[in-house]
Structure 1
Amino acid sequence: MEYRTTIKDLPGDVRPRERLVNHGPQALSNIELLAILLRTGNDQETALEVAQRMLAEGGLAFLARASAPELQRSFRGVGLAKACQIKAAIELGRRVALAGNERLTIGSPQEVADLVMEEMRHLDREHFRAVALGTKNQVLGVEPVSVGTLNSSIVHPREVFKAAISRNAAALILVHNHPSGDPAPSRDDVAITGRLVEAGKILGIEILDHVVIGDRCYVSLKEQGLL
């Protein structure tokens, strides 16, 4: 009978869970953190080996954007329960990040990009959102407006300003992502922004900027003189 090493067979000081307890989560690698979420491996691999394979084949970006059923289909030995645990952990991390920004005051396009970059740069379709701001540019919320296709998003002024009105916002900053990773604004991006600026003037809600999110980069239409 062939004997297979499991995580329990490892010395205590190298097991992921024990390392987290003794040294904190920041000391663990991505593989170790994912292995803790998986809890167990399969009949051929330990949880560490499954985690290593998932990150090698898909990477963190895929884990962030894929649905739970997609994770189940993509990785042998990952059932729906484990896939749901992974998605729940990612969503909880996203909400913690947003909660930490509830009292954030926006003073530059870089701060807007920092607010949404880690979530939006992984999305595989264009997502259009509105950052609602108070009278002192404090963030009231990041409101979803629409989800488009791989290279375009459909935006209606009604949906944009409904989010602002529901938050009692004084101003908005528009954000959307380019799944290609290139944040260069298209002619449609510029045209949509112009229409929303005019609609905002009628409603008394100023559009301060439109920030296009790429992969670890961004473009501000205001900085480019396109607003």
Structure 2
Amino acid sequence: MQLSHHIKNWAEEDQPICKMLQKGAKYLSDAELIAILLQHGTAQQNAVELARTLLQSTHHNLKQLAQLSIADILALKINGIGKVKAVRVLAAIELGSRRIHKGIEKKNIRQSKDVADHLKYLLQFENKEFFMVLLLNQANKVIHEEILSEGGITGTVADPRIIFKLALSHQATGFIICHNHPSGQLVPSRMDDLLTEKIKKGAAFFDIKLVDHLIVSIEGYYSYAEQNNNW
């Protein structure tokens, strides 16, 4: 075994932790960042090589890596990655997700894409359908966000009465509804159309505006407001 195999024998500027301290996280590769989380490698692979092996299992696709569970990672049977290291990697991914999730609170919504990017990050990797609502105040800022229901791969059910009750209790003047399509397809179903129309009419009765209905998937998003000139 060559001594250069060990990260501690690398030039200091090439060692992931030193590199991050000197230049910042943006200058590290995906494998180097994951190596910091793994901390140690094996007799055969150092932490960077081990990280590359993990990335190879998802074709170096971070989106696919984010979809894995602890059990999924363990099922890969990568020598040197057990429960603890799997937990570290997924904990970092979850922390990144929460950072973006918290960023929407009190944010002024100027266009559908502002919300779509946020919700897409939250829901695009889910393998079942979730239905969410974001409540807005008069300044179009998000004051509350909640998952109303979750279903299977083919769909979920949303009760308009729960949406209106939630909106009234938070004194919202508007709201955005959203659900994901695990299939990846962004074409609204007939049921999506009917539900949107039903909620829109009900909201008008309470003098609350349905600002948009968004459908998100790993492929992007669909906005009823953007696609309908009469919205």
Give the corresponding residue for 1:73: 75
In 2, the alpha carbon distance for the partners of 1:174 and 1:80 equals 37
User: Is the contact between residue 143 and residue 163 of structure 1 (CA under 8 Å) also seen in structure 2?
Assistant: no
Give the corresponding residue for 1:188: 191
Number of paired residues? 226
Give the corresponding residue for 2:114: 111
Give the corresponding residue for 1:85: 88
Change over 3 Å in CA distance of 1:164–1:51 after alignment to 2: farther
After TM superposition, give the deviation of residue 180 of structure 1 in Å: 2.5
In 2, the alpha carbon distance for the partners of 1:203 and 1:38 equals 53
Change over 3 Å in CA distance of 1:34–1:140 after alignment to 2: same
After TM superposition, give the deviation of residue 209 of structure 1 in Å: 0.8
Query: CA offsets per residue over residues 25-70 of structure 1, 9 Å max, x none?
Result: 1111111111111111234322212211222212312332232233
After TM superposition, give the deviation of residue 13 of structure 1 in Å: 0.9
Change over 3 Å in CA distance of 1:13–1:185 after alignment to 2: same
User: Is the contact between residue 133 and residue 139 of structure 1 (CA under 8 Å) also seen in structure 2?
Assistant: yes
Give the corresponding residue for 1:61: 63
Counterpart of 2:223, as a letter, is S
Change over 3 Å in CA distance of 1:44–1:105 after alignment to 2: same
Counterpart of 2:73, as a letter, is L
After TM superposition, give the deviation of residue 158 of structure 1 in Å: 4.3
User: Is the contact between residue 186 and residue 219 of structure 2 (CA under 8 Å) also seen in structure 1?
Assistant: no
Q: Which runs of 5+ in 2 are unaligned?
A: none
Change over 3 Å in CA distance of 1:29–1:166 after alignment to 2: farther
Counterpart of 2:65, as a letter, is L
TM alignment of 1:129-144, pairs within 5 A: 129-144=132-147
Q: Does residue 221 of the first structure (1) align with residue 224 of the second (2)?
A: yes
In 2, the alpha carbon distance for the partners of 1:133 and 1:75 equals 46
In 1, the alpha carbon distance for the partners of 2:76 and 2:123 equals 22
Give the corresponding residue for 2:14: 14
After TM superposition, give the deviation of residue 151 of structure 1 in Å: 3.0
In 2, the alpha carbon distance for the partners of 1:47 and 1:164 equals 49
User: Is the contact between residue 130 and residue 163 of structure 1 (CA under 8 Å) also seen in structure 2?
Assistant: no
After TM superposition, give the deviation of residue 118 of structure 1 in Å: 2.4
Give TM-score scaled by structure 1 length. Answer: 0.87
Query: CA offsets per residue over residues 111-142 of structure 1, 9 Å max, x none?
Result: 22122222322222222211221111101233
Give the corresponding residue for 2:202: 199
* Bigger Cα displacement from structure 2, 79-88 vs 115-124: 115-124
Structure 1 moving runs of 4+ over 3 Å: 158-168, 201-205
Q: Percent identity, aligned pairs only?
A: 32
Give the corresponding residue for 1:51: 51
User: Is the contact between residue 54 and residue 75 of structure 1 (CA under 8 Å) also seen in structure 2?
Assistant: no
Q: Which runs of 5+ in 1 are unaligned?
A: none
* Bigger Cα displacement from structure 2, 66-75 vs 169-178: 66-75
Change over 3 Å in CA distance of 1:174–1:40 after alignment to 2: same
SS in structure 2 of the partner of residue 212 of structure 1:
strand
In 1, the alpha carbon distance for the partners of 2:167 and 2:68 equals 29
TM-align CA RMSD: 2.3
User: Is the contact between residue 17 and residue 36 of structure 1 (CA under 8 Å) also seen in structure 2?
Assistant: yes
In 2, the alpha carbon distance for the partners of 1:92 and 1:182 equals 27
In 1, the alpha carbon distance for the partners of 2:67 and 2:164 equals 27
TM alignment of 1:95-174, pairs within 5 A: 95-161=98-164, 163-165=166-168, 167-174=170-177
